[in-house]
A and B are shown apart, each in its own frame.
Chain A
Amino acid sequence: MGLFKRFFKKDKKKKKEDKGKKGIKISSNYNKNINQIKNILKDCEDVIYREFTVGSEQNYNFAIIYIDGLIDKKLISDYVLESLMHQARELEPNPKIFKNKLYELCKKGNIAATEIKEAQTIDEAIDYILAGETILILENYPKILVISSRGWPVRGLQEPQTETVIRGPRDGFVETGKYNTTLIRRRIRDPKLKLKYMKLGVRSKTDVAIMYIEDIANKEMVEEVKRRLKDIKIDSVIESGYIEQYIQDNYYSPFPQVETTERPDAVAASLYEGRIAIVTDNTPFVLLVPATLTTFLQSSEDYYERWIITSLIRLLRYVAALIALLLPSLYIAITSYHPGMLPTELALYVAATRDGVPFPAFIEAFIMEATIELLREAGMRLSGPIGTTIGIVGGLVIGQAAVEAGIVSPLMIIIVAVTTISSFAIPNYSFATSFRIVRFAIMLSSAILGLYGIMLGLLLLGSHLVNLKSFGVPYLTPFVSTGITWMDLKDAFVTYPIPKANKRPKFTNVVDETRTDEENTIKAERGDEDDRGQ
């Protein structure tokens, strides 16, 4: 039996404990410090060293170091250099105090910047330089002052291209993490909105912010997000997609398990639902966890428009998802295996349109679906007028020509068109893409086993989805019963009038369950006694 145990036990990797902060200590020798920094930043010609002397007798050596282009030069020259070089000279200070308290004076009295930090080691100082801060080295002091001076050109706020809305705010995230967190903060003026910074990527040291509302989000989940982020071992994080692939539960799945959005209002709404946002620097795409099937089928606009309209639209999306998934497969199954399913007239019509088509239904469908995918891909990379041209050439010319040449039946063109339109009716791009991938698999199984094949395909898909989780939350919530309410299930299909929808969705295991005020305070007093298992 011991053998079995050894055979079946999962290897648990030992967590490597983070080593204590190492790095070169800052010495009190001014020249040594400068040289060490120069040594580390050798051949980085964008690093600027500005050395100057301070004091009425000009006997104190100072230096500021920064990277050209990453800082706000006006701030440094007007409020740091100006005050240090000129104003300090004008005074006639008590030399004793001046000598001993020079550092304190600089830190507290002389620099008119809004944020000042201290670096304890040379490496830390270099990290700050690379992040766009300016450092100030003083003679005879084993500490380095860090003056917050980040400033670089950013793209203005624009409406996100991938998630346009008819009604709703038009601002989208930009490439600067700080601006993005600000956009979220502006929508949640609650001291309970917490923000934790992390640096990811051994080389890129990308700033990543975890945002959540403390008394709504489930504590375990917040810890889990932090833990997974900490476990990321990678040298660079270029885009939030890198993080997404590290933190998702199952990377073999075709389905996205982390929601991405460019809309600050969508993030704010999700935070109020107890979800957790991960804001990555250098990308406008913010990650939201946990994500379930229903979150991908909802758009932020759903709650701005009147509820009857959006309820209908939401139901329409489910239909669209089903069509995008199944329509070509049904065509294949019915034409090749079960023509008797259709009313006689329709069956005859279908047979007539397929008359002369040299391919079996599967090949026919596959050719057309593949062409559409090619068109989509080509049109996406080409922007503006060229993209439109591709669309016209592909859609009109090829479609029309293919039918007239007798390669495909006109019905097939209709089916492909409807399928494609449906797949674009799914609000989330990556989710729609996964549906397209699965569609091809089901087409194949329906070509082999007809309707039975479609059912098997759906069952395999279902088996995959029921076992899929996003941060411990079943992907199919609220259709499966773990910790959900009737309200969640209704919200999956229809939207409610906002005044009636006073309960938060339960799938995130929220601490504070209601949206109305009085009950909030009661809950807050009671604390978090309700900690469900999953």
Chain B
Amino acid sequence: MIGGNDKISNSQIVFILITTIVGVGILSLPSALVERVGSDGWISIIIGSILVSILVAIATILTSYYPGKTVIEFGREIVSTPVSDIISFLFIVYFVVISAFTVRIFAEVVKMFLLDKTPTEVIIMTMLFTVAYIVRGGIEGIGRMAEIILPVVILPLLLLFIAIIPDLDFTNLLPVFRTSFTDIVKTIPLTFFSFMGYELILFFMAYVDKPKNSTAKNIAAIVIVTLIYLIFFTVTLARFGQNEVRDLLWPSLSLVRSVDLPGFFIENVEAVVMGLWVLNVFASLSPVYYGAVLTLTKLLRANEHKYFVLPLLPFIYILSLVPDNLASVYTMMDMFIYYYTTIILIGVPILYFIISLFKKANKKGVGSNG
């Protein structure tokens, strides 16, 4: 058989990164930022993205030291098998929990805007099975899907933003630089974790066919995400003003819902936007789910990932139903993010990078001596 070699292109990684990062985070980011730092939120987005770019660079360089290997495999070389396997297990937990939160928030949104009588469980279940189907197909399919979904989501959104321009009041963006620096620093974890999903580099770079300028390309993905966030933040703020944004649960959704297309056939674009939202969440969820499946497969040293797709599904499903309501979803998610993901997302790449640098230096030393 030609093909079927589980190879993706570096540009597909970029697409995967963008669709994964811009998942459910974009929904609440503007209101969370406005609540804390008012109109200075864009500063913390930029600072957060710079920090993430550094980590992305570290992660990409780290993977380039071990071509064709995922973090699960090269972790075993860097920090002995048991330690690495424990970290891999932590990754699985992380992916599963993030998938659960994502799908729960997704289900709540769909319930609120599209299907108010359908049980949350049904929405979660159907979405998870749909995602499981593409995850079964492997990384190639996910990469291609991201490539198709991103333009399909972005182009109509751009059109909507053009239609929204007359309603914008850019004086809402003022005043700038009014918040103290410490307040801005305090919001950096928040923006930083809006970039969750970049850690997939550690897993997926192994499948890139002939990587070239990967670091630059991956950072470009972060830059694009930052632009999307900035656009959403400023437009939301300009449209609604600080006070209103603060009270909105999902200002980004309210924003696109408020669009009134003049002379357009469809009365309200809500349904169209919800359609795009389903696509977006699908593209955001499938790489994370695949990350969990891939890690489990590599951890057990199995050859075929397909058998691990469905066994993980009940875990995600049950976890997604643990919070009683939307408020507790967000509280639990924040707790999880602050305490758990800090270790995983920041600690692991940096630790691995430093140790592998030392090992490299040692090797070189030994090599020149001998």
Contact = CB atoms under 8 A, between A and B. Distances in A.
Nearest to B137: A467
A466 B126 CA distance: 20
A344 B267 contact: yes
A481 B115 contact: no
Of the listed residues B149, B267, B302, the one surrounded by the most CB atoms of chain A closer than 10 A to its CB is B267
A167 B319 CA distance: 62
Interface in B245-296: 265-268, 270-271, 274-275, 278-279, 282
B334 interface: no
A292 B229 CA distance: 36
Interface residues of A, number: 45
A8 B114 contact: no
A435 B12 CA distance: 28
A357 interface: no
Contacts of A10: 303-304
Contact of A472 (B2, B123, B278): B2
B301 A5 contact: yes
A205 B302 CA distance: 44
B36 interface: no
A317 to B, nearest CB: 18
Interface in B105-120: 110, 114-115, 118
A478 to B, nearest CB: 11
Contact of A5 (B9, B274, B302): B302
Contacts of A472: 1-4
| Main SS at interface, chain A | helix
Contacts of B110: 452
Contacts of A452: 110, 114-115, 123, 126, 274, 278
A455 B148 contact: no
10 interchain residue pairs of minimum CB distance: A472-B3, A472-B2, A463-B134, A467-B137, A480-B144, A466-B144, A455-B278, A467-B141, A8-B304, A466-B141
A95 interface: no
Contact of B147 (A454, A460, A479): A479
Nearest to A228: B1
B185 to A, nearest CB: 39
| Main SS at interface, chain B | helix
16 contacts: A4-B301, A4-B302, A341-B267, A344-B267, A451-B274, A454-B275, A456-B127, A459-B282, A460-B133, A463-B134, A466-B140, A474-B3, A479-B144, A480-B144, A481-B9, A533-B209
A469 B3 contact: yes
Contacts of A220: 2
A187 to B, nearest CB: 28
A5 B300 CA distance: 10
A370 interface: no
B307 interface: yes
Contacts of B140: 466-467, 474
Contacts of B307: 7-8
Contacts of A343: 265-267
A342 interface: yes
A132 interface: no
Given A341-B271, A463-B137, A480 B147 contact: yes
Contacts of B271: 338, 341, 451
A342 B115 contact: no
B64 to A, nearest CB: 19
A340 B127 CA distance: 24
A220 B3 CA distance: 11
Contacts of A216: none
A534 B140 CA distance: 12
Contacts of A347: 267
A31 to B, nearest CB: 52
A476 B302 contact: no
Contacts of B130: 456, 459-460, 463
B123 A342 contact: no
Contacts of B265: 343
A174 interface: no
Given A5-B302, A479-B148, A456 B266 contact: no
A462 interface: yes
Contacts of B268: 340-341
Interface string A373-407: 00000000000000000000000000000000000
Interface of B: 1-5, 7, 9, 11-12, 110, 114-115, 118, 122-123, 126-127, 130, 133-134, 137-138, 140-141, 143-145, 147-149, 209, 265-268, 270-271, 274-275, 278-279, 282, 300-304, 307
Nearest to B307: A8
Interface of A: 1, 4-5, 7-10, 220-221, 224, 337-338, 340-344, 347, 449-456, 459-460, 462-464, 466-467, 469, 471-474, 476, 479-482, 533-534
A459 B130 CA distance: 7
Contacts of B11: 481
B7 to A, nearest CB: 7
A337 B305 CA distance: 38
Contact of A476 (B1, B3, B148): B148
B278 A340 contact: no
A456 B126 contact: yes
B76 to A, nearest CB: 14
Given A343-B266, A462-B134, 19 more contacts: A4-B302, A8-B302, A341-B270, A450-B114, A451-B271, A452-B114, A454-B275, A455-B278, A456-B278, A460-B130, A463-B137, A469-B3, A471-B2, A472-B2, A472-B4, A474-B144, A479-B147, A481-B144, A533-B209
B275 A534 contact: no
A462 B3 contact: no
Nearest to B123: A452
Contacts of B4: 469, 472
B145 A463 contact: yes
Nearest to B209: A533
Contacts of B149: 462
Contacts of B126: 449, 452-453, 456
A341 B147 contact: no
B144 to A, nearest CB: 4
A337 B115 contact: yes
Contacts of A466: 134, 137, 140-141, 144-145, 148
A531 to B, nearest CB: 12
Contacts of B2: 220-221, 224, 471-472, 534
Contacts of B127: 456
A482 B7 CA distance: 10
A220 B143 CA distance: 24
Contacts of B209: 533
Nearest to B148: A479
A481 B14 CA distance: 12
B302 A342 contact: no
Contacts of B266: 341-343
A338 B338 CA distance: 39
A481 B174 CA distance: 42
A533 B303 CA distance: 22
